């Protein structure tokens, strides 16, 4: 549609416009004007349908929107009859430029070079460039492309002369040659939403999986304000071995060894299995180390408690809890005063069941359930350092007045500690 009266009225111009087939819909569209040729417009369309894989195409008008033509010379739309391929039939929405995943209109941007109406940059999860008016597209960055790393999920593109800014949900990049090269422009832009977090023991180490920004790591030898961007995407991950080797673990990139001194690089090691991890609802297990041996580590994967005696290189199933793989193991706590005593929480389909072992995880007995009625799921547990029978439980989604409980007899009875106001007090273990 076009308006000539500041939006008071609109006229439809549909000549050459794409019409969805059966089971297909338009998911969104963005118009890009050519500053050097104002009557020339590009329309970037995303769509839904099994053959589209998120992408419809880029259409061009040379008469101010009166009529439109598919920039693909074969008028190809979708993955058949002509399959997606870079550069001749590139899927600008897919992360790999063909049939990969996309995020619909959430990741979508297009801009035209102000001095050259045939040069276009557009993208979704990754970004691409055309130098022939959309006939072909080369991958530039994010998941595919030859430029230095840039965060996926393109939110907006802005241009002034040959200066290009690429905005994603992970930051800002800049190019002084309209996509020929890029550099980060994020100094002073700070903020991280950590979906996973871990800290060191013998040395100060911090790691975490960040929302949209991959994994980070910090060591006490780094200069102030300096961190490593470790790679990865947005996993709820990040664990630190308490031993002296500075081993850190991220489920989406593997095991790394932080070498002291900023810029001195990383070592690597293999990890045989990863714990249950989730973006939301605290539905995570952990990597929990034996308090007396940093090579012994426990994780919950599916509904099984696993144990490693080689720092996570390999794991053996220690105990299988009732139910299916959906009845996942969450919290794991090993008593420091007696490591044979362990507590594990497990999703039972309605609430988190709490289990107790007195033989190092070989067998478990079910603790008394937390008092009902209440939403007793996603519990967080802490065992007293000097008494394995004392456990505190925080109920993440508990009802008002039913948030924190304590047991002094290994889970046979629970006392509700929740109060209407915060109370600061000291209590013996």
Range of the structural domain that residue 96 is part of: 25-184
Question: What count of other Cβ atoms lies within 10 Å of the Cβ of residue 61?
Answer: 21
pLDDT for 427 equals 52
Pair 41, 145 in one domain: yes
Strands of the 228-231 sheet, one edge to the other: 198-199, 205-210, 214-219, 228-231
Torsion angles phi and psi, residue 243, rounded to 5: -75, -175
List the Cα angle 386/396/317 in 5-degree steps.
Answer: 65
Same domain membership, residue 344 and residue 227: no
**Do both 112 and 198 map to the same domain?**
no
Does residue 359 sit within a domain?
yes
Give the number of other CB atoms < 10 A from CB of residue 233: 18
- Do the beta carbons of residue 210 and residue 195 sit within 8 Å? yes
Residue 6 lies in a domain: no
Tell me: do 318 and 387 sit in the same domain: yes
Residue 425: pLDDT above 80? no
- Residues 253 and 131 both lie in one domain: no
Do the Cβ atoms of 340 and 358 come closer than 8 Å? yes
Residue at 16 is within a domain = no
Q: What confidence tier does 400 reach under pLDDT thresholds 50, 70, 90? A: confident
Closest residue by Cα to residue 128 from 161, 160, 84: 84
With a CB cutoff of 8 Å and minimum separation 6, the contacts of 329 are 276, 285, 300, 301, 302, 303, 304, 305, 321, 344, 345, 346
CATH number at residue 94: 2.130.10.10
Is the residue at 356 inside a domain? yes
Give 98-123 as a DSSP string. SS----GGGS-EEEE-TT-TT-EEEE
User: With a threshold of 0.85, does the pTM exceed it?
Assistant: no
- Indicate the length of the chain as a whole number: 429
143 domain residue, yes or no: yes
| Residue 197 in this model has a pLDDT that exceeds 50 | yes
Residue 398 has pLDDT above 60, yes or no: yes
Domain end, chosen from 151, 184, 217, is at: 184
Average pLDDT value over all residues in the chain = 94
Neighbours of 399 (CB within 10 A): 12
**Confidence tier at 429 by pLDDT (50, 70, 90):** very low
Last residue of a domain, one of 154, 184, 214: 184
Of 21, 13, 112, 129, which Cα lies nearest the Cα of 64? 13
- Residues 289 and 383 occupy one common structural domain: yes
Chain position carrying tokens 């104002």: 38
Q: How many domains does the chain have?
A: 3
Stretch 60-83: mean pLDDT, rounded? 95
What six digits make up the tokens of 271?
């990890």
Report the range of poorest mean pLDDT among 119-128, 183-192, 257-266, 417-426.
417-426
Last residue of a domain, one of 269, 296, 326: 269
What would the pLDDT profile of 171-180 be if each residue is shown by its tens digit? Answer: 899 999 999 9
């Amino acid at each position: 549609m076009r308006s000539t009266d500041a939006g008071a009225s609109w006229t439809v111009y549909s000549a050459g416009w794409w019409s969805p087939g059966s089971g297909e819909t338009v998911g969104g569209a963005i118009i890009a004007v050519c500053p050097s040729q104002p009557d020339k417009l590009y329309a970037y369309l995303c769509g839904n349908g099994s053959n589209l894989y998120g992408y419809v195409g880029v259409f061009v008008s040379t008469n101010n929107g009166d009529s439109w033509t598919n920039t693909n010379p074969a008028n190809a739309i979708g993955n058949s009859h002509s399959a997606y391929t870079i550069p001749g039939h590139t899927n600008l929405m897919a992360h790999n430029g063909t049939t990969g995943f996309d995020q619909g209109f959430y990741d979508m941007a297009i801009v035209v070079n102000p001095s050259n109406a045939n040069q276009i940059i557009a993208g979704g999860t990754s970004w691409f460039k055309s130098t022939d008016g959309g006939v072909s597209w080369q991958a530039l960055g994010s998941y595919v492309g030859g430029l230095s790393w840039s965060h996926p999920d393109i939110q907006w593109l802005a241009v002034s002369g040959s200066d290009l800014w690429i905005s994603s949900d992970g930051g800002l990049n800049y190019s002084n040659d309209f996509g020929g090269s890029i550099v980060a422009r994020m100094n002073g832009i700070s903020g991280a939403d950590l979906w996973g977090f871990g800290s060191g023991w013998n040395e100060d180490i911090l790691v975490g999986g960040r929302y949209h920004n991959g994994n980070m790591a910090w060591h006490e030898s780094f200069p102030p304000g300096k961190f490593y961007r470790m790679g990865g995407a947005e996993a709820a991950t990040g664990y630190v071995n308490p031993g002296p080797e500075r081993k850190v673990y991220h489920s989406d990139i593997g095991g790394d060894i932080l070498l002291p001194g900023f810029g001195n690089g990383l070592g690597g090691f293999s990890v045989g299995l990863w714990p249950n991890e989730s973006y939301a609802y605290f539905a995570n297990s952990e990597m929990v180390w034996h308090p007396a041996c940093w090579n012994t580590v426990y994780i919950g994967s599916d509904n099984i408690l696993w144990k490693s005696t080689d720092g996570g290189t390999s794991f053996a199933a220690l105990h299988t809890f009732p139910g299916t793989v959906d009845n996942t193991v969450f919290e794991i706590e090993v008593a420091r005063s007696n490591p044979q005593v362990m507590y594990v929480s497990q999703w039972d389909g309605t609430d988190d069941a709490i289990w107790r072992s007195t033989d190092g995880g070989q067998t478990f007995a079910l603790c008394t359930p937390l008092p009902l009625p209440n939403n007793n799921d996603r519990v967080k547990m802490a065992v007293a350092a000097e008494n394995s029978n004392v456990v505190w439980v925080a109920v993440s989604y508990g009802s008002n007045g039913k948030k924190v409980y304590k047991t002094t007899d290994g889970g046979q009875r629970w006392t509700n500690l929740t109060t209407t106001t915060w109370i600061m007090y000291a209590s013996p273990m």
